[in-house]
Amino acid sequence: MDIGAKLSEFWKNFTGSTEMIVAFSVSVVVFSVLYFYMIKFLLDNNSGGLVTIFVLSMVLGAGIISLSEMNSAIYLIIPAIYLVIIIVLYSVELKRLIWAHTNMKLADVKHVGRSYDEEKVEKCINEIIKALQNMSKNDTGAIIVLATDNVPSQIIDSGVKLDADISSEIIESVFFPKTPLHDGAMIISDTKIIAAGCFLPLSQNVDKIPKELGTRHRAGIGVTETIDVVSLIVSEETGVISIAKAGRLARYADFEVLKKTLNKYYWQELESVRK
């Protein structure tokens, strides 16, 4: 049967049944929404190549079905395969997306009208780096989370709220061994230390984390898997400074790397939230 005959038969069946019209219309809407969000998700995660392959495979699949006697239901296999691929390859990104759209009450840490100038930002950056390097020299374990007012209240409430100006002295005193808050994480948002001693969700991707890294690193990585934040981690055993973002860990961060990370946080990530 050629394409024209197939289309003619389909149109005849379509116009002759109200149930067929409703079912077809619902299918078009559902799959259009599904494809839109799949493509949007891939583009948001810099996967334009995968989008091109997806579109080409859909067109090719439609052509094969039209020119053969193959059951058109097989056409549903293509988006199903891509859905599985997305879930497997982008599990961290999906987890963060789902977390961000849940109905959990976010921490009320909005600081409207806060002074925000270049001099103050540079001071915050230098104080954070100074504290990290001092703790690294003394093998003092620490986790600092750089947030954009997006940390759930459950995490904030698990620690002690500080709402203090950023200084190396405060940071180092919080993480000084055997102090009440040293085992938890410090949450920094903008130019304030919001809370300290907070408990973070642990990463479940233990196979991807080097075995010599312990709970502190699992927590630092885990929070970035579910929330769009950056974790700065100091190892208590080696003094090595690591940076975690989007579930990925970069170790041996020196002054230049820390400076670049903090500049991006203050001048790109926070600025994008304000707009």
* Whole-number pLDDT of residue 87: 76
Is 157 within 8 Å of 194 (Cβ atoms)?
no
108 within a domain of the structure (yes/no) = no
Residues 123, 228 within the same domain: yes
Residues 160, 231 within the same domain: yes
CA angle 252, 131, 236 (to 5 degrees): 55
Residues 151, 223 within the same domain: yes
Q: Is the pLDDT of residue 70 over 50?
A: yes
Residues 123, 75 within the same domain: no
* Whole-number pLDDT of residue 197: 95
106 within a domain of the structure (yes/no) = no
- Model pTM score: 0.65
Where does the pLDDT of residue 112 fall: very low under 50, low under 70, confident under 90, or very high at 90 and above? very low
Q: Show the domain range for 220.
A: 118-274
* Whole-number pLDDT of residue 113: 42
Q: Which of 73, 89, 105 is the last residue of a domain?
A: 89
* Whole-number pLDDT of residue 167: 97
96 within a domain of the structure (yes/no) = no
112 within a domain of the structure (yes/no) = no
pLDDT digit string, tens, across residues 39-62: 887 777 667 777 788 778 777 766
8 within a domain of the structure (yes/no) = yes
Residues 252, 214 within the same domain: yes
Q: Is the pLDDT of residue 114 over 50?
A: no
Residue 124's domain is classified under what CATH number? 3.40.1700.10
Residues 66, 130 within the same domain: no
111 within a domain of the structure (yes/no) = no
Give the whole-angstrom CA distance, residue 118 versus residue 111.
17
Residues 131, 228 within the same domain: yes
Tell me which of 21-25, 47-51, 175-179 is least confident.
21-25
pLDDT above 90: percentage of residues in the chain? 41
Where does the pLDDT of residue 111 fall: very low under 50, low under 70, confident under 90, or very high at 90 and above? very low
Q: How many domains does the chain have?
A: 2
123 within a domain of the structure (yes/no) = yes
Q: Is the pLDDT of residue 270 over 60?
A: yes
Residues 131, 186 within the same domain: yes
Where does the pLDDT of residue 147 fall: very low under 50, low under 70, confident under 90, or very high at 90 and above? very high
97 vs 30, higher pLDDT? 30
Mean pLDDT for the stretch of residues 119-144: 96
Residues 69, 155 within the same domain: no
Give the whole-angstrom CA distance, residue 40 versus residue 27.
20
pLDDT digit string, tens, across residues 223-265: 998 888 999 999 999 999 999 998 899 999 999 999 999 999 9
Residues 216, 139 within the same domain: yes
Give the whole-angstrom CA distance, residue 143 versus residue 132.
10
* Whole-number pLDDT of residue 14: 52
41 within a domain of the structure (yes/no) = yes
Q: What average pLDDT is seen over the chain?
A: 81
Residues 129, 237 within the same domain: yes
Give the whole-angstrom CA distance, residue 160 versus residue 163.
10
Name which of 74, 78, 53, 77 is nearest 65 in CA terms.
74
Where does the pLDDT of residue 88 fall: very low under 50, low under 70, confident under 90, or very high at 90 and above? confident
Tell me which of 113-117, 122-126, 162-166, 176-180 is least confident.
113-117
What tokens were used for 254?
Answer: 């020196």
Q: Which of 89, 108, 143 is the last residue of a domain?
A: 89
pLDDT digit string, tens, across residues 191-214: 999 999 999 988 878 777 888 898
* Whole-number pLDDT of residue 97: 64
Residues 234, 148 within the same domain: yes
Give the whole-angstrom CA distance, residue 102 versus residue 153.
13
